């Protein structure tokens, strides 16, 4: 009897989980379409600033870090969770050989979770040149998921993850 109750409990839990996770996550009912549209516009502005921040090789890491949430941020690098300062250090290591970058969003979706949180899912393409003799590379497809939270002055990135597709060498000349 205990086994049957356990199986039924698992089935109910699985059914509830399926119902919750398979349904579209709609913004809270108290938000108007105008409020949702405003949040989407503000989050897109942040995403554009995030993409633009990588084009200045002298200040890219600091400019990108300025877009992070001042209190709630996490980035994972080398199997470790790093905070704002750790992000800057990791960024400098990662970008030390980079001479140029040109990237742009090609597609995106913004999911408003609440008046104070949203997720930006963006596809982009990017081309990078290097300081050493490495050939310039182009990534025709790459994606980022960015969690943003409202701050006292706007929106800040709380977490992001990046997924690059295969790159191709850019023929020079």
d(CA 37, CA 33): 6
Total residues belonging to the chain: 173
The pTM for the full model equals 0.80
The answer to whether 146 and 50 have CB atoms below 8 angstroms apart is yes
7, pLDDT greater than 90: no
Q: What is the mean pLDDT of the chain?
A: 84
pLDDT band at 33 (very low <50, low <70, confident <90, very high): very high
**Could you give the CA distance from residue 83 to residue 158 in angstroms, rounded to a whole number?**
10
- The more confident residue out of 39 and 88 is 39
46-72 per-position pLDDT tens digit: 999 999 999 888 899 999 999 999 888
Give residue 28's pLDDT: 57
DSSP code per residue over 112-172: EEETTEEEEEEEEEEEEEESSSPPPEEEEEEEEEEEEEEETTEEEEEEEEEEE---EEPPP
Q: Report pLDDT digits (tens) over 96-149.
A: 999 999 999 999 999 999 999 999 999 999 999 999 989 999 999 999 999 999
């Amino acid at each position: 009897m205990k086994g049957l109750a356990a199986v039924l409990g698992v089935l109910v839990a699985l059914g509830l989980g399926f119902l919750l996770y398979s349904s579209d996550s709609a913004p809270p009912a108290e938000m108007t379409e105008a409020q949702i549209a405003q949040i989407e516009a503000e989050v897109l502005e942040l995403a554009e600033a995030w993409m633009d921040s990588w084009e200045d090789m002298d200040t890219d890491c600091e400019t990108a870090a300025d877009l992070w949430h001042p209190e709630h941020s996490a980035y994972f690098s080398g199997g470790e969770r790093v905070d704002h300062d750790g992000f800057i250090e990791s960024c400098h290591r990662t970008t030390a050989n980079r001479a140029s970058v040109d990237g742009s969003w090609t597609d995106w979706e913004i999911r408003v979770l609440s008046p104070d949180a949203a997720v930006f899912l963006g596809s982009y393409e990017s081309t990078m040149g290097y300081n050493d003799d490495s050939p310039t590379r182009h990534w025709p497809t790459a994606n980022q998921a960015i969690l943003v939270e409202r701050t006292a002055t706007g929106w800040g990135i709380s977490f992001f993850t990046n997924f690059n597709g295969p790159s191709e060498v850019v023929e020079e000349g």
